């Protein structure tokens, strides 16, 4: 059974996640921890629950989703995974922050790449990697069939979709990939987004003004 802990962090209110299961192993998804108190909060959570971090996986690499990558990688000596088509965003981490008047430290390249069809494993848990470009060229989502949830990053939000006006974004691609790849999953699939509250695929099929 996977436990999903959400932390709303950094100046952009990004959702960072720690996923763990009954083995005690855990992973970070989109660690955007920026302030020192955010670092301390997640460290305390991991310590209090006696968890063992084993990897960092990112849905994409816009700066608000990678602010805490080096903190997590160095604190727990674990590898960082991302899609190769978002490597340029990692290289631009500092300049991305400058666009929003936010000081960003450099982020080192991913240790390993994630691609369509890969399976991310930790403890007894497996999640399928699905490539859903449009918000960013290397955006992926993580689907756990056994527990029927989707870690959607900035592809799909409650009642909305990710912005497509940044380099590598494309509105038509995003819409088509959501419909082709995500809407074929079960309607009751719970969606954990990179910003805002949770939703379900069924609700978004019926109610999302961008997708109906």
DSSP state of 100: T
Write out the chain's pLDDT in tens, 212 residues: 999 999 999 999 999 999 999 999 999 999 999 999 999 999 999 999 999 999 999 999 999 999 999 999 999 999 999 999 999 999 999 999 998 999 999 999 999 999 999 999 999 999 999 999 999 999 999 999 999 999 999 999 999 999 999 999 999 999 999 999 999 999 999 999 999 999 999 999 999 999 98
d(CA 187, CA 193): 16
pTM: 0.97
d(CA 191, CA 164): 20
| DSSP β-ladder status, 80-82 and 52-57 | parallel
Domains with residue ranges and CATH for the chain = 3-207 (3.60.15.10)
Please count the other Cβ atoms lying within 10 Å of the Cβ belonging to residue 188. Answer: 11
DSSP state of 108: P
Please, what is the Cα angle at 71 between 68 and 74, to 5 degrees? Answer: 140
From its phi and psi, is residue 197 left (phi > 0), alpha (psi between -120 and 50) or beta? beta
Q: Helix, strand, coil shares of the chain as percentages rounded to 5?
A: 30, 30, 45
């Amino acid at each position: 059974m996977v436990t999903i802990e959400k932390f709303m962090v950094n100046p952009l209110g990004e959702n960072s996640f720690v996923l763990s299961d009954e083995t005690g192993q855990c992973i970070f998804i989109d660690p955007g921890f920026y302030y020192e108190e955010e670092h301390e909060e997640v460290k305390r959570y991991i310590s209090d629950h006696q968890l063992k971090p084993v990897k960092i996986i990112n849905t994409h690499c816009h700066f608000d989703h990678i602010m805490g990558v080096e903190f997590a990688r160095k604190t727990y000596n674990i590898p960082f995974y991302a899609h190769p088509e978002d490597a340029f965003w990692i290289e631009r981490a500092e300049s991305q922050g400058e666009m929003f008047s936010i000081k960003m430290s450099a982020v080192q390249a991913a240790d390993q790449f994630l691609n369509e069809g890969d399976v991310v494993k930790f403890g007894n848990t497996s999640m399928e990697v699905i490539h859903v470009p449009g918000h960013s060229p290397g955006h992926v989502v993580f689907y756990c069939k056994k527990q029927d949830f989707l870690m959607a990053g900035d592809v799909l939000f409650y009642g909305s979709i990710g912005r497509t006006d940044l380099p590598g974004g494309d509105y038509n691609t995003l819409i088509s990939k959501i419909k082709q790849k995500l809407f074929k999953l079960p309607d009751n699939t719970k969606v954990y987004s990179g910003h805002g509250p949770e939703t379900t695929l069924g609700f978004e099929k019926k109610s999302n003004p961008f997708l109906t």
